[in-house]
Amino acid sequence: MDLLDNTIRPYAWGSTTAIPKLLGVEPSGEPQAEMWMGAHPGAPSRTARGTLGEVIDADPKAELGEAAVGRFGPRLPFLLKILAAGAPLSLQVHPNLEQAREGYEDEERRGIPIDAPHRNYKDANHKPELICALTEFDGLCGFRDPERTAELLDGLGVDSLKPYVDLLRAHPEEAALREVLTAILSADREEMAHTVAEATAACTRLGGDYAAYADIAHHYPGDPGVIAAMLLNHVRLQPGEALFLGAGIPHAYLNGLGVEIMANSDNVLRCGLTPKHVDVPELLRVVRFEAGDAGVLRPEAAPDGEEVYETPIDEFRLSRYVLPEGTAAHDLTLQTPQILLCTAGTVRVGEYDLAPGRSVFVPAGEKAEVSGAGTVFRATVIV
């Protein structure tokens, strides 16, 4: 197995303290948003044998196993991260596999450069993801019931929001959500900035259910995404709880530290809370206009103390072991590739003692025993 040396990405929304605290190091003063574990070409983990991408490329079947290569090709199909949000991320949605393939092929056919700021599809893959909280973690996930959103908007007392309130109350669910999101994102920017300013003042004054949106507006003054965010469920995860973000589900992470896993893709369609490109027609093609609760996941107990976060995705499977002092060693050997990440205490995996934030890559079929007292997350695939 390989001890991983992982890159920390300094995105502007990152916390300056959460990842350093986990790693037990002094903060640099700069944002530290994500630590990537995997073979993504943008920031592959480093090992004593080269980057993890180079290691896998040299012998995919030995590293990933024949079943995983047959199912997903000669690449690690997931990316594992520690994510530390100190400010809200962009409001966004991800395409399903068919939409990603169609969008990618269309933009390739039209000759749009892969790094063009208005390009939507960087690859032909979908990007389902799962976030598991390590601290209290705030996020937005999926559309709230339109009637409840109408009450929330009406309670602000902002005249320019009244048409949205009427639409939410007058139409069937799907039509109501579609029309209101379309109207928000297509509105005159100057008029919308004025609406957002009024709504922000009201949210700040009222607090309670409005407090999260006041904080979003503080970071993104005048952004139409502030009003779009109010269409969504606000959820606060407790440590160990998770959210699964499937295709078409609008979402945003707001604040907190978590373990995130996703299919290997960079396809993001933004709805707001960003200076980046927002392609409204393509966004409306991808969004699923269905209301419901946020769907908080709690781990399900499996044999040998494993706790599994069940999702409908084969590209990744996330679970954890919480090991009390004196627990016998657990055999974690699988015929699929694994990344094992310590998030608390000290755990021993093979020859390596892992402190919080340290991780190893375990090739398919290689013996992997874990012992010690702490928490270790296991990322693998389903074949």
List residues with catalytic annotation: 270
* Overall size of the chain counted in residues: 383
Q: Provide the token pair at 337.
A: 């590739």
DSSP-derived letter for residue 226 is H
SS3 142: strand
**Residue among 58, 11, 54 at smallest CA distance from 31:** 11
- What are the residues whose beta carbons fall under 8 Å from the beta carbon of 157, sequence distance 6 or more? 202
According to DSSP, the residues that pair with 46 across neighbouring strands are 5, 51
Please state at what angle helix 189-206 crosses helix 211-219, rounded to 10 degrees.
140
> What does the alpha-carbon distance between residue 112 and residue 47 come to, in Å, rounded to a whole number?
35
- DSSP one-letter code for 15: B
Query: Who contacts 66 (Cβ-Cβ below 8 Å, separation ≥6)?
Result: none
Nearest alpha carbon to residue 2 among 370, 358, 372: 358
Neighbours of 344 (CB within 10 A): 17
Residue 329 and residue 227: Cα distance in Å, rounded? 51
Distance, in Å, from the CA atom of 44 to the CA atom of 38, rounded to the nearest integer, reads 6
Residue with tokens 């450069």: 113
